[in-house]
Chain A
Amino acid sequence: MDHLLTAVAWGAALLQALLYAALAPLLIGWIRKLKALLQNRRGAPVLQTWRDLRKLLVKEARVAHAASPLFRAAPYIVFVTTWLAAATVPLVAVSLPTAAIADIIVLVGLLALARFFLALAGMDIGTAFGGMGASREMLVSALAEPAMLMAVFTLAMSAHSTNLASVIDYQLGTFALRPSYLFALGGLILVAIAETGRIPVDNPATHLELTMIHEAMLLEYSGRHLALMEWAAQIKLLLYGALIANIFFPWGIARSFAPAALGIGLAAVVLKLLVLGAALALVETVLAKMRLFRAPEFLNLALLLALLGLLSQVILEVGT
């Protein structure tokens, strides 16, 4: 364990955490831009999300009379927890100390902690929309979280480790297109779409009252509170993107802290994320949002895929 606690590794981990915070709005900006282009609009510049965040951060926050202290604490808890969760997912370099501190299960747990407070914040003022959003968010997560765990367990079972860095190392060492990976990839993509509130499960652009999930919980937030909540959601999207990109397509990720390797790693991950973002924009343009009660079917598919992946791993591939 001690070799991980070197200053270089911690410096890289800190830089990577900052990189997550910096890149997350850009990924959203990129997706929005592409969606606009696909819809024959010109769209806002990619940097617009950054400007929005900055504007919200300096604005005065307004809080409803009925709000409890939990309402004001929640944005900080949600943001910091999501940020720490992201910091445990290798983005540019693999062997980070944060991956040893928190393995895949802790990552899922941290995201669940953030969601717990997000849902509570939605219910705090006592408005109808907040409760509605919280109820639906917990429905989606109740079905998505096991699927996510099963998908990552498939990889953990092959790598014999729940440490994300070990899983990626294993992938780099012996890459083979196994059936279990395809199932897990399919499951994880569906989970990522559901958990980050994208079409067809939720629509991030909507403020149509009855279709909201994620936005409904944020309705009462403003100013820096809103900025932190939005930023956390953006980091979560980047986290899922990095998870999919670096586990299933690990090529290019830096295995040492040499500047050249880090440079290649950064370029590779940016490229992968651009492609994933483009795919998401395309999917969101072609598909329509589902009714809420179709979402469980969608998530059951994710759970089924992930479980199939796990079963095919333990039945077919053990010992290979």
Chain B
Amino acid sequence: MNAHVALSLAALAVLLALLSSVVSVFAVRAPYIVRTLVMPLFGLAGLAALAAGLVALLQDSAATATLPMGLPWLPSRVRLDALSGFFLGVIGVVSIAVGLYGPAYVRGFEHGRDSLTALGAFAGLFLAGMLMVVLADDAFLFMVSWEVMSLSSYFLVAFQHENAANRRAAFLYLLMAHIGGLAILLGYGVLASFGGGFAFEAMRAAPLSPGWASVAFVLAFIGFGMKAGLVPLHAWLPEAHPVAPSHISALMSGVMLKVAVYGFIRFVFDLIGDVQWQWGVAVLVIGGVSALTGVLAALLQTDLKRLLAYSSVENLGIIFIGLGLALVFLGTGHAPLGTLAFVAALYHVLNHALFKGLLFLGAGAILHSTHERDLEQMGGLLRRMPWTGLFFLLGCISISALPPFNGFVSEWLTFQAALQAWQLESGVLRSLIPIVSAVLALTGALVAATFVKVYGVAFLGQARSRHVRRARQVPFGMRAGQGWLAGLCLLFGVLPTAVIGVIDGVPRQLLGAGLPQAAAHGWLWLTPVSPAAASYSAPLVVVLLALLAALALWSLRRGAVQRVRRCDAWDCGFAQPTPRMQYTATAFAQPIRQVFALLFHIEESVGQREDGALRYQLNIGDRSWGLFYAPVMRAVESASRRVVRLQSGNVRVYLGWTLATLVVLLWIIS
């Protein structure tokens, strides 16, 4: 009974998303309709998706249904199990925030040249596509939904297409999305040919040899990894995510990357089923590399949205570290530990959706009120936009994995899983996992440095430009969207045991066992392995912090002078500081840039301008362009040049080639 409630709610979510897309057509005549109707429908679709996800997570069994569409021999089937439910919930949570935030944000476009119809229509399609990917129960519907998601987001990236750089970013995105989609399609092809059908049910039962299973895994890892922005396939991500309107950036970084993670989990943990630990090693290494290079690249950025996009690369790296640990443990027969690592990865999926959504919405609020994305022009925004400043601060603390916020919980769980490496038999694995956890620790510390830089430069200090000095509070809806996510960041950080109790349904259905010991000692205690091995009580940490703060305040009230006098800054007695004397974002990152200089392509030069003033130039390039993309591009180009020789311009020659190909194909098939 309840299973159908979940599925109906999910259907409602998809329909609402499509409706918001269709309604946008009327925006041609009445642009205000996007603000008054389309965005609220979008938020309602998110709400329905969240409700469907929650109901599905609390179920013990999956619900299936057959849609009145599809191919004659393959009716489209949808299935809602706990894994789909979890990702529906993740999509829903961020979509609600976007629905709250969007109306005020799109108002800024009403008098511009850009088409609001396109914005509303493709946003609705985008959401519907993501929801359908998560619900699909056969490869055909999955790929169709996947392409709907990719294509509609292409149009959203290309929304402000007057700018040549945006067009270039959108094209790069489209290209990469298709290469990735091809790899996924081939991966499904391997499973379908062994399973004898495109339905996921047939693929699950496919008798795969280990070799073919590895081929399917590699294809899926490339395809989904490309969408998830793993290094070295990440180069499109920091180009494409920042140029979309901010609420769409929040959806792309916060949610669409998670859909790629969903695809990976569905493909590897569910459809292939028998995982091999060697895959885990590959995932661990790629995840570790992504985490570290992602955060270092983020640290060096001065464009706020670009920085956040690079930070998504880093967070997806952390998620894949968790998934890699799960694969290693499951592949070597340590199912409970595999479950722990899997839950850690899922928790980070949820957390990243929350805080990255929040931070992108915050960046959008700054953009809305100052038209500025460049950190070097910001400063002192906390006093101009106190609510955005507060929510952004909570987001920065969460993403830096600091207790008692949510980012810390997932990092803590990942460390706990990594610390169980002593149970493994292989010495190589036992030493690889600690190295990856060292990378994770280094990443965590660098993230904190990155977000101290972001917050300190953007929100603290003094304004570095005139329009930032005149920034104004954003409208209520935009603050509400951020507040919703910020509140959840705190809530999911303080009550991890309850959250894991809900997430637990996913491994119970997918891996056959949950993590019962995590919540065995009540909601106060999180004990992922056993109370003797590790325990963390976030509620008590918060209570103790409050108690100690009360104690400190109470004892200071007695005796101390309460008055605070305002005066000029001291600054070692130098001249009164001006905004130009502040540390800039570039200066803040300079020491770390110098330490990790080898990882980047850095061009630094000091010259003189015509008027005699010194001019400092700094270009930081991504090494993956030179190391990975350029060789691939050269190979493709030289191959094309060879193929060009076939192109004589003579129709008879072409017909000859066609005939020859046909004969060869017939010979192969016979």
Contacts and interface: CB of A to CB of B under 8 A. Distances in A.
A48 B379 CA distance: 40
Interface string B503-536: 0000000000000000001101101000111111
A150 B461 contact: no
A307 B402 contact: no
Interface in A113-127: 113, 115-116, 119-120, 122-127
Contact of B449 (A62, A81, A141, A314): A141
A318 interface: yes
Interface in A301-316: 303, 307, 310-311, 314-315
A134 B456 contact: yes
Given A127-B582, A314-B431, A315-B430, A163 B419 contact: no
A66 B565 CA distance: 12
A138 interface: yes
A244 to B, nearest CB: 19
A61 B565 contact: yes
A278 interface: no
Contact of A70 (B460, B524, B536): B460
Residues of A contacting B: mostly:
helix
Given A57-B556, A65-B568, A138-B448, A307 B438 contact: yes
Contact of A162 (B401, B419, B571): B419
A318 B532 contact: no
A156 B571 contact: no
Contact of A123 (B456, B533, B552): B456
B455 A120 contact: yes
A145 B445 contact: yes
B403 to A, nearest CB: 4
B364 interface: no
Given A135-B591, A161-B533, A63 B567 contact: yes
Contacts of A136: 591
A161 B402 CA distance: 21
Interface string A283-320: 00000000011001000000100010011001100100
Interface in B589-603: 589-592, 594-595
Contacts of A1: 521-522, 524-525, 527, 531, 535
A318 B422 CA distance: 7
A291 B599 CA distance: 23
Contacts of A161: 532-534
A103 B534 contact: yes
A100 B293 CA distance: 35
B441 interface: yes
Given A129-B572, A131-B587, A207-B572, A106 B521 contact: no
A10 B545 CA distance: 15
30 contacts: A1-B527, A1-B531, A57-B556, A62-B565, A63-B567, A68-B380, A68-B383, A76-B549, A79-B552, A80-B549, A101-B537, A113-B397, A116-B402, A116-B451, A120-B452, A124-B456, A127-B582, A128-B571, A131-B461, A131-B587, A131-B588, A134-B588, A141-B445, A145-B444, A146-B444, A156-B419, A166-B532, A293-B591, A311-B434, A315-B427
Interface of B: 379-380, 382-383, 393, 397, 400-403, 408, 412, 415-416, 419, 421-422, 427, 430-431, 434-435, 437-438, 441-442, 444-446, 448-449, 451-453, 455-457, 459-462, 521-522, 524-525, 527, 531-537, 540-541, 544-545, 548-549, 552-553, 556, 559-561, 563-572, 574, 577, 579, 581-583, 587-592, 594-595
Closest 3 CB pairs of A and B: A131-B583, A126-B461, A123-B456
Interface of A: 1, 17, 57-66, 68-70, 72, 76, 79-81, 83-84, 87, 98, 100-103, 105-106, 109-110, 112-113, 115-116, 119-120, 122-132, 134-136, 138-139, 141-146, 149-150, 153, 156-157, 160-163, 166, 207, 209, 219-220, 223-224, 228, 292-293, 296, 303, 307, 310-311, 314-315, 318
